[in-house]
């Protein structure tokens, strides 16, 4: 029994999620006419998006380290 | 005749409306009538009171039940959505490890992540903007009554407080509070430090009253958002920072501009959440004198930042209060 995802798979997953969340967070924080009225913790959403983005960058760095 | 009236009363007590009407007539009847039917009436009143109490209890139970039903129908909370995502997500992850399935693990990861995210990014508890002015109206109305009663026709002067960290003797601690001096005749005289320090309400020399500004609470909120006290902030910096806090962080207006001019500062607010306070139907004079909580908070911030006494010398409000233009005049140079 082992986890079926490799680092590369996780990297891909993190990238996809980070992009979705970063775009959502950016759209929400712009306080536009419609999107600005969504009542969620926008700060926390931004933090989660940034955390995923950082996670993705870490996996990229690990891949780069493996190549070097 | 009296007995007949009482008997009629008894026969009529069938519904809640009848009961209340009966009780009303009971309380309004002259003493002699009450005396004559005391014996019969006592037991009947007890019965109707009991009936009323039972009805109230029943209605209360129905109200509680309706409230619970409304809560249920108000929709699925984010917690429920999160649990709905988390359970299959975790199950999928476990299964993926057991069966060594990549697709299952992707599904599990996604579901678990979104479930956790729903828990983390909960909806913020907001209240309707209309509640803000509704709650503020009472204090302005009270102030109006006081000013009318005292026949004061002066101006409101925002007196800057001493910085919180400044050391002051015990008897001068009152100077650390932001106050507005409402003068009786609008003269240039300001109350003495001694009088402000004593936290007096009615002042005799010069005549007027000292009240807490309506925007004092909002000012604390501004400082919390900025992350420091406004004491040390330059006026130019404040004119840039405050609009950001009001528009982006607190969303109290649609547009806000603070522009320093030669003898004061001009504030322009578009679509403020407190615009209803300026409506003519409200007939609030103190709003023009002190400004709505937002205008007052900006006045407090300006007074605190510059350390100068200021007054609202000009208030232009468009129809329905959509656009509010205020000029803060610095009394001291």
Q: What is the DSSP string of B82-111?
A: HHHHHHHHHHHHHHHHHHT-HHHHHHHHHH
Distance, CA of B145 to CA of B284 (rounded, Å): 10
Distance, CA of A36 to CA of A27 (rounded, Å): 8
Closest C-alpha to B284, from B143, B135, B130, B132: B143
Same domain, B83 and B184: no
Same domain, B257 and B172: yes
Same domain, B104 and B217: no
Same domain, B238 and B151: yes
Same domain, B15 and B90: no
pLDDT tier, A55 (very low <50, low <70, confident <90, very high otherwise): very high
Same domain, B146 and B287: yes
**Element at B115 (helix H, strand E):** helix B102-120
Phi-psi region of A39 (alpha: psi -120 to 50; beta: other; left: phi over 0): beta
Supply φ then ψ for residue B122, to 5 degrees: -70, 155
| Number of CB pairs, chain A paired with chain B, less than 8 A apart | 50
CB contact under 8 A, B106 and A31: no
CB contact under 8 A, B123 and A39: yes
Structure tokens at B273: 């959440």
What integer pLDDT is reported at residue A50 of this predicted model?
Answer: 94
Q: Any long-range contacts for B237-245 (C-beta under 8 Å, 24+ apart)?
A: B238/B301, B238/B302, B238/B305, B239/B265, B242/B298, B242/B301
Q: Which residues of A touch B105 (CB under 8 A)?
A: 3-5
ipTM, two decimals: 0.85
What integer pLDDT is reported at residue A11 of this predicted model?
Answer: 92
pLDDT values of chain B reduced to their tens digit, one per residue, 333 residues: 444 444 444 444 444 455 555 545 555 455 555 555 566 666 666 677 888 888 888 888 888 888 877 766 665 677 888 899 999 999 999 999 999 889 999 999 999 999 999 888 877 776 777 788 888 888 899 999 998 998 888 889 999 888 777 777 777 777 778 889 998 887 778 888 888 888 888 888 888 898 999 999 999 999 988 888 888 788 889 899 999 989 888 888 889 999 998 889 999 999 898 888 888 777 788 888 899 999 999 999 999 998 889 999 988 988 877 899 999 999 865
Residue B61 lies in a domain: yes
Residue B125 lies in a domain: no
With a threshold of 0.90, does the pTM exceed it?
no
Q: Least CA distance to A28: which residue of chain B?
A: B248
The last residue of one of the domains, among B87, B120, B153, is B120
Give the distance from residue A59's alpha carbon to the nearest chain B alpha carbon, in angstroms. 17
Strand partners, B182: B156, B209
Closest C-alpha to B210, from B168, B179, B177, B251: B179
Distance, CA of B162 to CA of B172 (rounded, Å): 10
Using DSSP's 3-state secondary structure scheme, residue A23 falls into helix
Using DSSP's 3-state secondary structure scheme, residue B22 falls into helix
Closest C-alpha to B252, from B232, B233, B277, B230: B277
Same domain, B221 and B271: yes
Q: Which residues of A touch B109 (CB under 8 A)?
A: 5, 13
Same domain, B13 and B159: no
Residue B10 lies in a domain: yes
Query: Which residues lie below 8 Å from residue B273, measured CB to CB, with a gap of 6+?
Result: B129, B132, B133, B252, B253, B294
Closest C-alpha to B144, from B49, B214, B231, B44: B214
What integer pLDDT is reported at residue B62 of this predicted model?
Answer: 86
Strand partners, B156: B182
| CA trace torsion B300, B301, B302, B305 (10° rounding) | 120
Closest C-alpha to B199, from B225, B165, B171: B171
**Residue of B98, B118, B119, B121 best to disrupt the A interface, most CBs of A under 10 A:** B121
Does the beta carbon of B102 lie under 8 angstroms from any beta carbon of chain A?
A: yes
The last residue of one of the domains, among B57, B72, B87, is B72
Q: What is the DSSP string of B217-264?
A: HHHHHHHHHHTS-STT--HHHHHHHHHHIIIIIS---SEEEEEE-SSE
Distance, CA of B278 to CA of B61 (rounded, Å): 41
Same domain, B62 and B171: no
Structure tokens at B231: 């004491």
Strand partners, B194: none
Same domain, B232 and B278: yes
Residue B233 lies in a domain: yes
**Residue of A2, A3, A4, A28 best to disrupt the B interface, most CBs of B under 10 A:** A4
Give the distance from residue A43's alpha carbon to the nearest chain B alpha carbon, in angstroms. 9
Distance, CA of B1 to CA of B245 (rounded, Å): 75
Same domain, B54 and B88: no
Does the beta carbon of B286 lie under 8 angstroms from any beta carbon of chain A?
A: no
Query: Which residues lie below 8 Å from residue B238, measured CB to CB, with a gap of 6+?
Result: B230, B258, B301, B302, B305
B308 close to B281: Cβ distance less than 8 angstroms = no
Same domain, B23 and B116: no
Query: Which residues lie below 8 Å from residue B269, measured CB to CB, with a gap of 6+?
Result: B253, B255, B256, B294, B295, B323, B324, B325, B326
What integer pLDDT is reported at residue A37 of this predicted model?
Answer: 65
Residue B151 lies in a domain: yes
Higher pLDDT, A33 or B200: B200
Supply φ then ψ for residue A21, to 5 degrees: -70, -40
Q: What is the mean pLDDT of residues A25-49?
A: 77
The last residue of one of the domains, among B94, B120, B146, is B120
Its domain, for residue B8, covers: 2-72
Residue B276 lies in a domain: yes
- Tally of domains within chain B: 3
B269 close to B323: Cβ distance less than 8 angstroms = yes
| CA trace torsion B128, B129, B131, B136 (10° rounding) | 160
Strand partners, B317: B324
């Amino acid at each position: 029994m082992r986890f079926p995802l490799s680092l590369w798979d996780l990297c891909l997953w993190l990238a996809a999620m980070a992009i979705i969340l970063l775009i959502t967070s950016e759209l929400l924080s712009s306080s536009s006419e419609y999107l600005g009225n969504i009542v969620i913790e926008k700060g926390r959403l931004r933090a989660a998006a940034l955390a995923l983005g950082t996670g993705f960058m870490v996996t990229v760095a690990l891949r780069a380290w493996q190549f070097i | 005749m009296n007995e007949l009236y009482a008997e009629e009363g008894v026969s009529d007590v069938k519904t809640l409306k009848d009961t209340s009407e009966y009780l009303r007539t009971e309380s309004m009847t002259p003493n002699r009538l009450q005396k004559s039917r005391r014996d019969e009436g006592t037991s009947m009143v007890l019965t109707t009171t009991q009936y009323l109490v039972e009805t109230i209890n029943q209605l209360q139970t129905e109200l509680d039940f309706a409230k619970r039903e409304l809560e249920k129908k108000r929709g699925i909370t984010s917690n429920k959505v999160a649990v709905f995502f988390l359970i299959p997500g975790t199950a999928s992850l476990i299964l993926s490890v057991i069966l060594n399935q990549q697709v299952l693990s992707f599904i599990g990861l996604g579901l678990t992540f979104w479930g956790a995210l729903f828990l983390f990014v909960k909806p913020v508890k907001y209240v309707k903007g209309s509640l803000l002015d509704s709650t503020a109206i009472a204090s302005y109305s009270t102030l109006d009554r006081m000013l009318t009663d005292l026949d004061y026709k002066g101006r409101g002067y925002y007196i800057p407080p001493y910085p919180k960290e400044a050391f002051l003797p015990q008897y001068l601690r009152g100077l650390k509070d932001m106050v507005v001096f409402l003068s009786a005749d609008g003269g240039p005289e300001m109350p003495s430090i001694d009088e402000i320090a004593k936290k007096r309400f009615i002042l005799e020399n010069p005549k007027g009253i000292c009240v807490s500004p309506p925007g004092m609470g909002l000012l604390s909120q501004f400082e919390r958002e900025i992350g420091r006290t406004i004491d040390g902030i330059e006026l130019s910096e404040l004119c840039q920072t405050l609009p950001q806090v009001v528009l982006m962080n607190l969303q109290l207006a649609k547009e806000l501009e603070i522009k320093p001019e030669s003898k004061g500062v001009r504030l322009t607010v578009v679509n403020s959440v407190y615009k209803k306070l300026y409506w003519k139907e409200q007939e609030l004079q103190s709003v023009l004198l002190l400004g709505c909580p937002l205008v007052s908070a900006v006045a407090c911030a300006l007074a605190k930042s510059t350390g100068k006494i200021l007054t609202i010398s000009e208030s232009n409000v468009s129809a329905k209060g959509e656009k509010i233009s205020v000029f803060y005049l610095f009394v001291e140079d």
